[in-house]
Amino acid sequence: MSFPIIWSGNFYHLRHSCSYKLLRFQSGSTPKILPDTRTCNLRFLASKAEGKNQKSQSKKPQNVNVNHNDGSVKSSSSKTINKSELHEFKAVQCYQHISEKRVFDWPAVVIAFDIETTGLSRQKERIIEIALRDLYGGKNSTFQTLVNPEKEVSNSYIHGIRSDMVNRPDVPRFKELVPILLQYIRSRQTDGRQVALFAHNGRGFDVPFLIHEFRRCKVEIPEDWLFVDTLPLARKLVKPDGSKLESSKLDDLRQYYEIPLIGPAHRAMQDVHTLAYVLQKMSYQLKLSIPELLDGGFRASDIIKVAP
DNA sequence: GGCCCTCTTTAGGGCCTT
């Protein structure tokens, strides 16, 4: 099984099944996942020569629902795809039929996730936003919500999430989010497949943060959740001249791979988008199959044993 | 705080995450 081919196929799914969800919580009622209606258009630009060879399907604007999730209403925006991106999309189309045949061979549910927090200390700070994306795609492949930290947000300059956006009764606290999160992950585990949750610097930041939030709710993270940190993968990357990359930051990786920025910067779902594409690029460059990626995975209990 | 790298391993500095 060739991972790069499957991954390219997945690239197709990323573009065609993106659906953001805004989790709204009403005190005393069952939380509901509501679709967001705002959209932005991905418009393809093609030269005349390219346009002649382009199939009609690829010429159609690709609609991507965008949920800024900041409580404000913003007008639709337009994302222009340049020539190199168009070339990549065309390559993806070549693999589409392969992916559709092999997609059920995926050994695991691959989910990219990211959190925004009130700071860096897992003991003192709290999660204020979480976003997940099932890279397989499909209906409800994305999940995103703000989280009420029940404390002041002092680092809004990082992510743009202000206290008044999250410290409100209609934003769920983490303990109210836990059962929904567990159910969402379970809903992605069709046929009892292994779930693998990818995060950049996940071992050092996201997963320990999740562990502490779950602990506060007196809930253990399921043992069948396998986490994979993409930071060690990034540190293995080398340039064509053999030298290492100057930086392994997620945004620097995005720029290195010339991945366009989609959505508001420094928000959880935007970073999930970036991670999804960076992961695709890195796995291709490092020639890593899905099982090889999962070999580097770890459980929440592995971290707890090291740093209780 | 974990991981990586080096002027290292009996250590220390820097990266990466918000």
pLDDT per residue as tens digits for the range A207-259: 999 999 999 999 999 999 999 999 999 998 888 877 888 889 999 999 999 99
Question: In the complex, which nucleotide's C1' lies nearest to the CA atom of residue A232?
Answer: B3
pLDDT digits (tens, 9 = 90+) for A40-57: 222 222 222 223 333 333
Q: Please, which residues have CB within 8 angstroms of residue A48's CB and are 6 or more apart in sequence?
A: none
Q: What ranges do the domains of chain A cover?
A: 108-305
Distance from CA(A194) to C1'(B8), angstroms, rounded: 39
Question: In the complex, which nucleotide's C1' lies nearest to the CA atom of residue A128?
Answer: B18
Protein-covered nucleotides of chain B (CB closer than 7 Å) are 1-5, 15-18
Please answer whether residues A248 and A231 qualify as being in contact, where contact means their C-beta atoms are separated by less than 8 angstroms: yes
Question: Which pLDDT band holds residue A305 (cuts at 50, 70, 90)?
Answer: low
Q: Quote the pTM value.
A: 0.71
In whole angstroms, give the CA distance from residue A230 to residue A274: 12
Question: In the complex, which nucleotide's C1' lies nearest to the CA atom of residue A127?
Answer: B18
Q: What is the CATH number of domain A108-305?
A: 3.30.420.10
Tell which residue, A117, A128, A213, has the closest CA to residue A167. Answer: A128
In whole angstroms, give the CA distance from residue A144 to residue A257: 25
pLDDT of residue A100: 41
φ and ψ at A240, to 5 degrees? -55, -30
Cβ within 7 Å of nucleic strand B, residues: A 114-117, 119-120, 155, 158-159, 200-201, 203-205, 208, 231-232, 235, 247-252, 266, 271, 303, 306-307
The alpha helices in chain A, defined as continuous H runs, are 3-16, 48-53, 56-59, 83-102, 156-159, 163-166, 174-188, 207-216, 231-234, 250-256, 268-285, 290-295, 300-306
Distance from CA(A258) to C1'(B7), angstroms, rounded: 36
Distance from CA(A119) to C1'(B8), angstroms, rounded: 32
Question: In the complex, which nucleotide's C1' lies nearest to the CA atom of residue A120?
Answer: B18
pLDDT digits (tens, 9 = 90+) for A152-182: 999 999 999 999 999 999 999 999 999 999 9
A266 is catalytic: yes
Q: Considering only CA atoms, give the Rg of chain A.
A: 19
In whole angstroms, give the CA distance from residue A90 to residue A92: 5
pLDDT of residue A206: 94
pLDDT of residue A105: 61
pLDDT of residue A263: 74
Distance from CA(A24) to C1'(B9), angstroms, rounded: 52
